[in-house]
């Protein structure tokens, strides 16, 4: 009986040991499985993740146009930020560069501090001729683009800032400049845009600060990888075969009939034309535009509810169209614009055209028909009550052959030419013209990006408020946590 009890005791001990061993093995296996599962989750999360920007300004959210350019990179590209930490646009540019790198495996981002990375600084100076810092260098093969960081910054205007104060940064257009640099670098094709000359049009070679100077327009279009050239039809005796788009910017004299016939033929053969018209200037374009569904009258648009000086008209509402889609929330300023009306009667064309009003004045506006009236006031017997269309896009609808959809005629007419001149650097005028030219040449997906507004958030408080904040952060909050921990410890002991 005693022997049996001894055996049973030994068996119980072995069972206990086996149970403990099994528990230990189970714990080890469970730990290993948890580690493997943790590794799998991290592996998948590194390759399949969703990035979100929950900030109020959304400064790191890339536009669809930028996403498309990055997705289409077909060659390695280096983007080198050659700047120190002191520049006001450094943090915004750095955040954008990291977003760019995450969207493409072919893009590599580097940061070079000219004060610390002396060896790399010397190499950049020798290879690319960089003699000043605070630039972004975009390199692919033996081609490179240099973007000045100061060009990315939009500063507070002199009218908006108090006298004697340093202007604040109100906007950041780094994404637009960086995307344009990428486009120029990787694109082997540069569409040619001609600006008509010889009839008092705006001059793309003039750097003056006046209404006929369009050098800023030229610079922006070339930044979009477009080749800009003047065109004198009397000398060329025809529109060149490489014309991707023709711009007629504010002619002040009549265009001779032979040249109008050349423009008409170009449009009929799926041409792309932008026409900017000023009031009181007869260029002889009325019959040509009427054939394409646009009616002109001798008028001036007046909008008392959207003006500062009486001669300007501010537009903030736009149609849903590729030309104006990126202008939402921005202001475009026109100087004494004229109306761009649709033709009302039945169109006799065999291939119908589609008219789209891109923007119009407010309900309180009107088209002033008596231009000699002083002061200007609304006359219901003569004038036309608003909204008044100021810009319109016309496309020829092609039926049957779908391949013609990409080469159909496109016409953009705007009732002002001053809005994009060097003289008027206010609002979204330049952006409107950029968008219009890109739409004409068929690059709808690469419409110019609007600048991102930058809001400076400051916490204003006096010394007493700062002391209260320090007391809460340094004494009250740590003390509350310590007291809670002490209370938990005392309850456990009790």
**Cβ neighbours, 10 Å, residue 247:** 26
Q: How many residues does the chain have?
A: 494
CATH 3.30.70 fits 190-451, yes or no: no
pTM for the model stands at 0.71
CA proximity to 178, closest of 91, 93, 102:
93
pLDDT at 68: 83
State whether the Cα torsion 399-402-408-413 is positive or negative. positive
CATH node for 64-170: 3.40.30.10
Q: Would you say 431 and 359 are in contact if contact means Cβ atoms under 8 Å apart?
A: no
Domain ranges of the chain: 64-170, 190-451
Q: How far is CA 406 from the centre of its chain?
A: 24
Q: Would you say 81 and 111 are in contact if contact means Cβ atoms under 8 Å apart?
A: yes
pLDDT at 403: 47
Distance (Å, whole) CA 330 – CA 307? 15
Beta bridge partners of 385: 366
pLDDT at 410: 95
CA proximity to 275, closest of 301, 348, 267:
267
Question: pLDDT (tens digit, 9 = 90+) per residue, 291-323?
Answer: 999 999 999 999 999 998 888 999 999 999 989
**Cβ neighbours, 10 Å, residue 490:** 9
Supply the DSSP symbol for 300: E
Beta bridge partners of 143: 140
Using alpha carbons, list the distances in angstroms from residue 411 to 50, 223, 299, 309, 392: 41, 23, 21, 31, 8
Helices 90-103 and 174-186 cross at an angle (nearest 10°) of: 40
CA proximity to 391, closest of 313, 287, 451:
313
Vertex 462, ends 457 and 468: CA angle to 5°?
100
pLDDT at 27: 80
pLDDT at 71: 86
Helices (H), 187-306: 215-223, 233-236, 257-268, 286-291
pLDDT at 265: 95
CA proximity to 224, closest of 448, 451, 450:
448
Distance (Å, whole) CA 415 – CA 336? 9
pLDDT at 346: 47
Question: pLDDT (tens digit, 9 = 90+) per residue, 169-200?
Answer: 777 888 888 888 888 787 778 899 999 999 99
Which class for 376: exposed (0-12), middle (13-18), buried (19 or more C-beta within 10 A)? middle
Distance (Å, whole) CA 249 – CA 251? 6
| pLDDT (tens place) for every residue of the chain, 494 residues total | 455 555 566 667 677 777 777 777 888 888 888 899 988 888 887 777 666 666 666 666 788 778 888 888 888 999 999 998 888 888 889 989 998 998 889 999 999 999 889 899 999 888 888 888 899 999 988 888 888 888 888 776 655 666 667 777 777 888 888 888 888 787 778 899 999 999 999 999 999 988 999 999 998 898 788 999 999 998 887 899 999 999 999 999 999 999 999 999 999 999 999 999 998 888 999 999 999 999 999 999 999 999 988 889 999 999 999 899 888 778 899 999 999 999 976 455 667 889 999 999 999 999 999 888 778 899 999 999 989 999 999 998 655 444 444 568 999 999 999 999 998 876 788 889 999 999 999 877 666 667 777 765 556 666 777 788 888 888 888 888 888 888 888 887 76
């Amino acid at each position: 009986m005693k022997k049996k009890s001894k055996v049973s005791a030994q068996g119980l001990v072995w069972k206990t040991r086996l149970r403990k061993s099994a528990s230990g093995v189970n714990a080890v296996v469970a730990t290993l499985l948890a580690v493997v599962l943790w590794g799998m989750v991290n592996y998948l999360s590194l390759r399949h993740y969703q990035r979100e920007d929950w900030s109020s300004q959304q400064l790191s959210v890339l536009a669809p146009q930028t996403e498309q350019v990055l997705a289409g990179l077909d060659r390695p590209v280096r983007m080198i930020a050659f700047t120190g930490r002191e520049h006001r646009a450094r943090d915004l540019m750095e955040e954008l560069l990291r977003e760019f790198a995450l969207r493409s495996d072919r893009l590599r981002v580097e940061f070079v501090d000219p004060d610390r990375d002396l060896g790399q600084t010397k190499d950049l100076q020798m290879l690319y001729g960089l003699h000043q810092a605070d630039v972004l260098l975009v390199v692919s093969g033996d081609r490179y683009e240099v973007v000045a960081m100061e060009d990315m910054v939009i500063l507070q205007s002199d009218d908006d800032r108090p006298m004697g104060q340093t202007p604040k940064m109100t906007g950041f257009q780094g994404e637009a400049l960086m995307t344009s640099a990428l486009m120029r670098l990787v694109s082997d094709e540069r569409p040619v845009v001609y600006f008509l000359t010889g009839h008092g049009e705006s001059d793309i070679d003039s750097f003056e600060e006046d209404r006929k100077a369009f050098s800023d327009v030229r610079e922006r279009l070339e930044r979009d990888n477009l080749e800009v050239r003047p065109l004198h039809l009397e000398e060329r005796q025809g529109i060149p075969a490489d014309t991707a788009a023709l711009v007629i910017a504010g002619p002040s004299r009549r265009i001779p009939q032979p040249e109008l016939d050349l423009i008409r033929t170009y449009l009929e053969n799926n041409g792309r034309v932008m026409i900017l018209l000023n009031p009181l200037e007869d260029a002889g374009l009325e019959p040509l535009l009427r054939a394409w569904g646009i009616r002109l009258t001798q008028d001036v648009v007046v909008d008392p509810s959207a003006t500062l000086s009486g001669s300007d008209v501010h537009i903030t509402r736009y149609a849903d169209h590729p030309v104006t889609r990126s202008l939402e929330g921005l202001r475009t300023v026109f100087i004494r614009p004229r109306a761009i009306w649709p033709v009302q009667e039945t169109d006799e064309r065999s291939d119908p055209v589609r008219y789209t009003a891109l923007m119009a004045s407010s309900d309180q506006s009107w088209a002033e028909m008596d231009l000699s009236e002083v002061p200007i006031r609304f006359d219901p017997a003569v004038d036309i009550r608003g909204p008044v269309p100021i810009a319109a896009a016309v496309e020829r609808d092609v039926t049957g052959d779908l391949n013609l959809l990409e080469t159909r005629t496109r016409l953009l007419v705007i009732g002002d030419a001053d809005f994009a001149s060097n003289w008027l650097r206010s609002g979204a005028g330049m952006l409107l013209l950029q968008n219009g030219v890109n739409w004409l040449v068929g690059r709808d997906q690469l419409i110019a990006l609007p600048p991102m507004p930058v809001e400076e958030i400051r916490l204003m408080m006096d010394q007493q408020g700062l002391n209260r904040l320090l007391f809460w952060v340094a004494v009250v909050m740590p003390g509350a946590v310590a007291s809670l921990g002490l209370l938990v410890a005392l309850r456990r002991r009790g």
